[in-house]
Amino acid sequence: MYGNRHLYCIRTLPKKSNIFYTGFTSNLIKRFHDHNSFNLTGFTVKHRPWIVFYTEINIYPEKKS
């Protein structure tokens, strides 16, 4: 895996529960919207709403020749 990748950490709103989730993506904005979407199923959809509290960009540097 090379190229622009984002490490992100999200958590539920403090007054709901204190659940954390970590993931990797090449499109942070789309992925964040997916976690809060009503159109998808899965763990994070069950615990929405989520907020992003940490990100890193370029987790995987370009391949050296």
Which residue pairs, CB below 8 angstroms and at least 24 apart, start in 43-47?
A: 44/10, 47/12, 47/16, 47/17, 47/19
At residue 22, the pLDDT reads 94
Domain layout of the chain by residue ranges: 6-57
Which carries the bigger pLDDT value, residue 21 or residue 62?
21
Query: Can you tell me whether residue 13 is helix, strand or coil?
Result: coil
Give the pLDDT band (50/70/90) at residue 1. Answer: very low
- Does pLDDT of 8 surpass 90? yes
34: burial class by Cβ within 10 Å (0-12, 13-18, 19+)?
Answer: middle
* DSSP category for residue 18: -
pLDDT at 29: 92
At 22-54, the pLDDT tens digits run 999 989 999 999 999 888 888 888 888 999 999
